Amino acid sequence: MKSVLLLQIFCCVIAISTQLEGASVTVDLPFGSIKGYSNGDSWQFYGIPFAAPPVGDLRWQPPTDFIPWTGSTLDANYPPPACIQNCQLGMPACAANMSEDCLYLNIFIPISWTPGSNMTYDVLLFIYGGSFIEGTSGCLLYDSKFFTKFTDTIIVTFNYRVGALGFLRNPAYNIDGNMGFIDQRVAMQWVNNYISYFGGNGKITLFGESAGAISVGAHLASPLSTGLFRNAIVESDPWTIPLRSTINADVLGEEFFLELDCITKRCIFDKTSEEILSAPIIDNINLLDQPLATLLEKAKTSAFLPVIIGTTTNEGLLFIERLNRISPVKGEALYNAMLLFVFPYHFESVVNTYNSLYGVPTNYVDRLSLIAGDYVFLCPTRKLLATISDGEQYAWGYLWNRGETYNASSTFCYNIPCHGSELPYVFGTPSLWDQQFTPNDLNLSRQIQTYWRNMAYSSDPNMGSGGTGVYPAWPRYETRTGVEMFFDEPIGRLSYNYSDRVCDFLDTIGYDRSDIFGNSSVIRSFLLMVVVAVVLIGLINSISSY
């Protein structure tokens, strides 16, 4: 079995397909009844529609109101299909069941709850990652029964449209883009309106990882999402990768429909969907600017919701390894070409700074992974934490430093805290795919779950119904000390001024790279350059061997 981290990035671990067994419970809503089931650890309600199926003439349109089922009972016994996507990993990593009719949510409730009782619970609402081209709520990695049982909270997961069907823009066909982002907001609105019927107390904490973290940051920045949640947890947001401008999104949309050989609106609605790389765009309605820029300014001038923001300590390796498989990074020339592309005006200073801090690289994959993790994830996260702290707002920072040591079949992330490596600990799910936590792993899982639960309970990771128990107090981030929670075995501990020297340097360069990453034609030119460079290097090596 491949690394669960790789599976999460591209899709999910394994689609759930078996029928649940056990007792059932029925919830009566104004628009119909819903029947959920016990798995022994929690009540779970799968596949609740929060919007109308986005099919037919609703394809590429914002979500519309769900269709009531008054007078009947919805059997919420099966996970919903994933939204249409082109998953690259093959079975069983990719969801077996996909459909354009995919806008459903899942609710996990503590087993102690009964309908109509006075028992209420805090709510954690999760947004999955997958580069905005893949991902689903109905996979084993995000099965929330153990998370719900240990934290005594309600966990909600949901689907949103991805890829071309979620984020394509083409105003000529009245396709404004950001459909997937609006799907997320409509799911959040549904939870606000109806979670009380399931025992929710209205205290909603939004959390997400990777593309899900980008989404959380975007909802923090979007005025249209104000009031839908009271806290946020941002896990591994690649802040430096910008969202597309409407100009670049329009170009991509035009190219997409040319590839479909469509020149009429009817044609695009009749076509079978095809997957392309897409992401939310700055449409001046849902998003007014890059989320990081908006949040940095917001932290200085207005009230900021309490947030936990963090990264793993080796975010870059997963992505550089993917690139390395396509274009092996074996020589200094290719390494320099990649750095020159990203840092055209600061190339020498970047090379010299990293060489002075870490020595001349002997492994270019490792060095590129370090730079990518620092520049895209770690240092912009520190910048935002410092800005929130300087504004005397409430923010807590963390670093995840535990690899996938419980998984004997893991690849390069076995001992390395890759992108996404905290997720099995947050949800506590490795046993669902025949892996077992060590005692230290289980303790670390309980620690992060405790902090996430407390954040939902009190807007502070230290203050829950039982406090932090045996786990350390977690101070708010402050610029002077750079204090963060450093999650590692056997127990998380405090860290101070982690990577300050390199982040101080990268802060001087800045993290707005929309001039490069926001321009699809520039990226294609760079990839072409990489391919040409690899071919030339291969030819040179072949000639020199004779």
| Residues marked as catalytic | 210, 315, 419
Cβ proximity of 368 and 335 under 8 Å: yes
Q: What type of residue sits at position 23?
A: A
Q: Around Cβ 460, how many Cβ atoms within 10 Å?
A: 17
Q: How far apart are CA 541 and CA 217, in angstroms?
A: 46
Q: How far apart are CA 373 and CA 311, in angstroms?
A: 9
Q: Around Cβ 422, how many Cβ atoms within 10 Å?
A: 25
DSSP per-residue codes, 387-449: HHHHTT--EEEEEE----TT-TT--TTSSS--TTTTHHHHHT-GGGGT----HHHHHHHHHHH
Q: Which two tokens stand for residue 170?
A: 């083409």
Cβ proximity of 407 and 419 under 8 Å: no
If residue 235 lies in a helix (H) or strand (E), which one and from where to where?
Answer: strand 231-235
Cβ proximity of 400 and 310 under 8 Å: yes
Q: What angle do the packed helices 347-358 and 500-509 form, to 10 degrees?
A: 180
Three-class secondary structure of residue 151 per DSSP: helix
Q: Which two tokens stand for residue 203?
A: 């205290």
202: left (phi over 0), alpha (psi -120 to 50) or beta: left
Burial of 534 (0-12, 13-18, 19+ CB in 10 A): middle
Residue labelled with tokens 């270019």: 364
Closest CA to 489 of 431, 423, 404, 410: 404
